[in-house]
Chains A and B, each alone.
Chain A
Amino acid sequence: MSVKIAIVRWRALVPLVLLLAVLVGGWMLLADRLGRLALERGGTALLGAKVEVRSFHFSLGQGDVTVRGLVAASPFDSLKNLVEADELAADLDLLPLLEKKVAIDRLAANGLRFGTARTTSGFVPSSGTSASAQIMANVKSWAAQPALQVPILQLATGKLSVDSLDPRKLQTVQAAESLAARADSSRRAWTAALDSLNAKATADSAVAFAQRLRGAKPTDLALLRDARRMVDRVKQTRDRLTALDRGLKAGAGTLDQGLASLQAARRRDYDFARSLVRLPPIDATAIAWVLFGPEAVQKFQRALYYTQLGRAYMPPGLLPHPHDGPERSRRAGTTVEFPRASRPPGFLLRDAELSFLLSADSSGPRRYSGRLQGLTSAPALYGRPTTFAVRAPTVSADGMFDHVHAISRDALGGTVRGVMLPAIALPGLPLRVVPGRGDVSLGFALYGDSLRGRWTVRAPAATWQRDSNVAGGMAADLLWRVVSGIENLDLTADLGGTLSHPELHVRSNLDQAVSDRLRSMIGAEVDAAESRLRVEVDRFADEKIVPLKTQVAGLVAEANGRVQQGRQALDAAQQQIEQQLRRLTGGIRLP
Chain B
Amino acid sequence: MLILKLLQSLAKALHSEGTPGQVALGLALGSILGLTPLLSLHNLLVAALILLLNVSVPGATLGWALAIPLGFALDPMFDALGRQLLLGTPALTPLWTALANLPVVPLSNFNNTVVLGSVVSALLLFAPIFYGSRWAVRRYRETYGERVRGSALYRAVTASRLYGIYRLFRPGT
- In whole Å, how far is B45's beta carbon from the nearest beta carbon of chain A? 11
Contacting pair B111 A330 (CB below 8 A): no
Of A234-242, A332-340, A468-476, the stretch lying at the interface with chain B is: A332-340
Q: Which of A7-15, A172-180, A502-510 contacts B (4 or more CB under 8 A)?
A: A7-15
The answer to whether the Cβ of B37 comes within 8 Å of any Cβ in the partner chain is: yes
Known: A100-B107, A338-B111. A343 touches B51 (CB 8 A): no
Q: Are B111 and A335 in contact (CB under 8 A)?
A: yes
Q: Are the CB atoms of B82 and A330 closer together than 8 Å?
A: no
A222 touches B (CB below 8 Å): no
A331 contacts B75, C-beta separation under 8 Å = yes
* B interface footprint on A17-59 (CB within 8 Å = 1, 0 otherwise): 0010001000000000000000000000000000000000000
CB distance from B98 to the nearest CB of A (A): 8
Which one of B97, B100, B113 lies within 8 Å of A333 (CB-CB)?
B113
Structural contact, B172 and A334, CB atoms closer than 8 A:
no
Given contacts A333-B82, A338-B111, are A9 and B51 in contact (CB under 8 A)? Answer: yes
| Main DSSP-derived SS at the B contact region | helix
> By the criterion CB–CB under 8 Å, are B52 and A328 in contact?
no
Neighbour of B37 across the interface among A7, A16, A328, A339, CB < 8 A: A328
* A residues in contact with B103, CB < 8 Å: 98-99
Compute how far the CA of A336 lies from the CA of B79 in the bound complex, rounded to whole angstroms: 12
Are B87 and A322 within 8 A (Cβ)? yes
Residue contact B96 to A98, C-beta cutoff 8 Å:
no
Interface presence of B160 (CB below 8 A)? no
- The answer to whether the Cβ of B151 comes within 8 Å of any Cβ in the partner chain is no
Are A320 and B86 in contact, CB atoms less than 8 angstroms apart?
yes
Q: Roughly how many angstroms separate A3 CA and B54 CA in the complex, as a whole number?
A: 14
- How far does the alpha carbon of A343 sit from the alpha carbon of B37 in the complex, in Å? 28
Question: Given A100-B106, A325-B112, are A6 and B87 neighbors across the interface (CB < 8 Å)?
Answer: no
Question: B83 contacts the other chain (Cβ, under 8 Å)?
Answer: yes
Contact A99:B106 (CB < 8 A) given known A330-B75, A343-B101: yes
| Chain B residue, CB-CB nearest to A6 | B54
Complex contacts, A334 vs chain B, CB 8 Å: 79, 82-83, 86-87, 112-113
Counting chain B CB atoms within 10 Å of each CB, which of A13, A320, A337 scores highest? A320
CB within 8 A of A9: which of B19, B97, B115, B172?
B172
Question: Taking the complex as formed, is B48 at the interface, i.e. its CB lies under 8 A from any CB of chain A?
Answer: yes
Cα-based distance from A235 to B85 in the complex (angstroms): 120
Does residue B121 face the partner (Cβ distance < 8 Å to A)?
no
CB of B51 within 8 A of CB of A12, answer yes
A336 near B113 with CB under 8 A, answer yes
Q: Separation in Å of the B113 CB from the closest CB of chain A? A: 4
Determine the residue in chain A with the shortest Cβ distance to B85. Answer: A336
* CB-contacts of A72-101 with B (<8 A): 98-101
Q: Which residues of B contact A (CB under 8 A)?
A: 19, 22, 37, 39, 44, 47-48, 51-54, 71-72, 75-76, 78-79, 82-83, 86-87, 93, 96-104, 106-107, 109, 111-115, 117, 169, 171-173
- Beyond A98-B104, A320-B93, A333-B78, list 12 extra A-B contacts (CB 8 Å): A5-B54, A7-B53, A320-B96, A333-B82, A333-B114, A333-B115, A333-B117, A336-B96, A338-B100, A340-B97, A340-B98, A343-B101
